[in-house]
Structure 1
Amino acid sequence: MIGKLKGTIDEIAEDHCVVDVHGVGYVAYCPARTLSSLPGAGEAVTLFIETYVREDMIRLYGFASALEREWFRLLQNKVQGVGAKVALAVLSTLSATELANAVALRDVAMVSRAPGVGKKVAERIVSELRDKVPALAGPTDETIALKSEIGGGAAAAPVADAVSALTNLGYSRDIAATAIAAAMKTAGEDADSARLIRLGLKELAR
């Protein structure tokens, strides 16, 4: 099984790229976000690979990070009705961190932005992957636990009220939750909603 390719870009097409590894060209089907981030032909590249072996074909799927590859696996293995095509569409639309945030916040609308992903499929994604988010949020996202609490209705009342106030001002739930999480670091967990809102707005104004 192939888990990683390290070589040079030979070709970039609409839904795949060809990676030259010591004279052998490997075709890897990738999310649009990965393809758009690739260097030009002849440049060095490393792709994390998921290998599918079936009776009639062998297909490689390539990703910019191991985290993105893990989301690809989870989408198919844990969510009913999601195959490789839908999983690629989701990861073409949302980065791994954005997907983690959407699942944590139960943001069905954000997930359903992906082509071919209707409301029912998006609901299954945020429902069936919610327990996987803490481990797959990405190393730089320190607010994912709070977002999971907000999305699951378990956040403290001042926090929930502060997030709601910012969303009423037109900010997305993700941006609002991130701002309030930052505000809590300054104000502490016992801060009331008014202080959290005030500090959250300061964060957003930076």
Structure 2
Amino acid sequence: MIGKLKGLLEEVDEDRLLIDVGGVGYLVFASARTLGRLPGKGEAFALLIDTHVREDHIHLYGFLERAEREWFRLLLTVQGVGARHALAILSVLDPAELSTAIMAQDKAAVSRANGVGPKLAQRVVHELKEKAGRLAVISEFSPPATGGGAGRAPAASGDAVDALVALGYRRSEAFTAVGKAAAELGEAAGVEALIKSGLQELAR
């Protein structure tokens, strides 16, 4: 199994590239984000590879970052998501943005990917919410560890996110803004304070 390739960039197509490794050309599929970050033709670079072996073909999928490869593998665990769907999602959302979208249950962000409809996007954010913990770059709102107010902070944060979404902000960006507000204001912050601070964060 091929896990990494290092060579010279031969050519780039719409959804793939050709890398020359010691005179052997390897055809590698990649996300638009990865393809857009490649060096010029003839320049040296390296790719992490995920090899898929089927009865009728062997496909190589390439990634410049380990995080993108891990998300690719995780996306493939969702029923109905194939390699092309996974690459399409990673073409519109980088690993940090995808993590935020899943934690915020923002199916609209995921459905921006070519060929990913609302139903499949909903399945992605639903099925990966629990699995995504080890890859998440931001944490979900955590309830207070002690005290009688346990559970109030997450509820307030959730209400604040819903309020910002109602104002027209995307759920992912509202989730991130309220998360930063909650971290700054503390676990006892109320809904109004979180909304105000969240709006200030979004205005920056």
Shorter-chain TM-score range: 0.7 to 0.9
Q: Which residue of 2 aligns with 1:145?
A: 140
Q: Give the unaligned 5+ runs of structure 2.
A: 143-150
Once residues 168 and 52 of structure 1 are traced to their aligned partners in structure 2, the CA distance between those partners, rounded to angstroms, is 43
Once residues 155 and 122 of structure 1 are traced to their aligned partners in structure 2, the CA distance between those partners, rounded to angstroms, is 28
Matches within 5 A, 1:106-145: 106-137=105-136, 141=137, 143-145=138-140
Q: Which residue of 1 aligns with 2:89?
A: 90
The 3 A distance-change label for structure 1 pair 120 and 199 is closer
Query: Alignment partner of 1:133: what SS?
Result: helix
Does structure 2 conserve the Cα–Cα contact (< 8 Å) formed by 1:8 and 1:44? yes
Matches within 5 A, 1:41-60: 41-60=41-60
Once residues 132 and 34 of structure 2 are traced to their aligned partners in structure 1, the CA distance between those partners, rounded to angstroms, is 21
The answer to whether 1:68 aligns with 2:68 is yes
Q: Which residue of 2 aligns with 1:22?
A: 22
Query: Alignment partner of 2:168: what SS?
Result: coil
1:179 deviation in Å? 1.3
Identity among equivalent positions (%) equals 54
Once residues 71 and 59 of structure 2 are traced to their aligned partners in structure 1, the CA distance between those partners, rounded to angstroms, is 18
Q: Give the unaligned 5+ runs of structure 1.
A: 148-152
1:155 deviation in Å? 6.2
Q: Which residue of 2 aligns with 1:195?
A: 193
Once residues 108 and 66 of structure 2 are traced to their aligned partners in structure 1, the CA distance between those partners, rounded to angstroms, is 26
1:87 deviation in Å? 1.7
Once residues 182 and 98 of structure 2 are traced to their aligned partners in structure 1, the CA distance between those partners, rounded to angstroms, is 23
Does structure 2 conserve the Cα–Cα contact (< 8 Å) formed by 1:27 and 1:60? yes
1:201 deviation in Å? 2.3
Does structure 2 conserve the Cα–Cα contact (< 8 Å) formed by 1:134 and 1:145? no
Q: Which residue of 2 aligns with 1:173?
A: 171
Compare the two structures and name the one with the higher helix fraction: 1
1:164 deviation in Å? 2.2
The 3 A distance-change label for structure 1 pair 169 and 120 is closer
Normalising by structure 1, what TM-score?
A: 0.86
The 3 A distance-change label for structure 1 pair 192 and 79 is same
Q: Which residue of 2 aligns with 1:164?
A: 162
Does structure 1 conserve the Cα–Cα contact (< 8 Å) formed by 2:50 and 2:69? yes
Query: Alignment partner of 1:82: what SS?
Result: coil
The 3 A distance-change label for structure 1 pair 165 and 123 is closer
1:69 deviation in Å? 1.2
